[in-house]
Amino acid sequence: MYEFRFDVVWQYLPYLARGVWITIWVTLASTGIGLVLGIVIAVLRLSSNPILSMPMRAYIEFFRNTPTLVKLVWVFYLIPILFGLKTEALTSCIIAMAVSAAAYIAEVVRAGIQDVPRGDIEAAEAVGMTPMTVLRRIVLPQALRKVLPPLANTFIVFLKYSSLVSVVGVNDLMYRANVISTTTFRPIETYTVLAFFYFVLCYGLSKAFSRFEARMAVDV
């Protein structure tokens, strides 16, 4: 019978906990950039001009259909070669995750934009708003409110994806757990504690989104 020894892992807890900030930072930075990029991509994707929409389709398909881990490693090794820049592992991870997140978020936002009632747009045009104003004041505020639930989902998925950054040596939660596990030879205990950490983070994020959604719902 296996004897669980959580006390061995316990002494490494402060070390593990410091990884929380790295994990949060990677997630927030990449989904934040991904959100902005994703909105731009979604808008261009819906353009009637194929010169604008076709590259966005290609972008979405390419980044949606390649593994995030592959992109991480790819960006990590490719940026120094392409641009001669020596990027920090953390930076290249954020870039790789942001471009992936943008592809998913673009599709979510596109669905939201297409769901905005045609009549709302006509009413905005009828008062003389320019297309840019219609987008900024009428279309996007409604679209983003509507897609908050799937957007929350994407954010949570990317919080979990952030564990991949350990592969290129960013000392996030996952990386630290690996270190603890190989130091203590207690993988089961270590990863159980790790899972608990991720659960608390993800659950907190989803709760935060629910509250935000509820506040926005008053508006709808």
Q: How far apart are CA 95 and CA 34, in angstroms?
A: 9
Choose, by CB under 8 A, the member of 124, 147, 168, 193 that binds another protein. Answer: 124
User: Is residue 84 part of the contact set for another protein (CB under 8 A)?
Assistant: no
- Asked if 1 interacts with another protein (CB under 8 A), we say no
End-to-end Cα separation, the chain, in angstroms:
57
Q: Does 123 bind another protein (CB under 8 A)?
A: yes
Q: Does 220 bind another protein (CB under 8 A)?
A: yes
Question: Which residue from 23, 31, 92, 142 is in contact with another protein, where contact means CB under 8 A?
Answer: 142
Using rule CB under 8 A, residue 147 touches another protein = no
Nearer to another protein, 125 or 213 (CB): 125
Stretch in the footprint of another protein (CB under 8 A) among 28-36, 48-56, 62-70, 120-128: 120-128
Among 5, 137, 207, 211, binds another protein (CB under 8 A): 137
Q: Report the nearest approach of another protein to the CB of residue 110 (Å).
A: 18
Q: How far is CA 105 from CA 117, 133, 173, in A?
A: 21, 22, 25
Residue ranges in contact with another protein by CB under 8 A:
117, 119-120, 122-130, 133, 137-138, 141-142, 145, 218-220
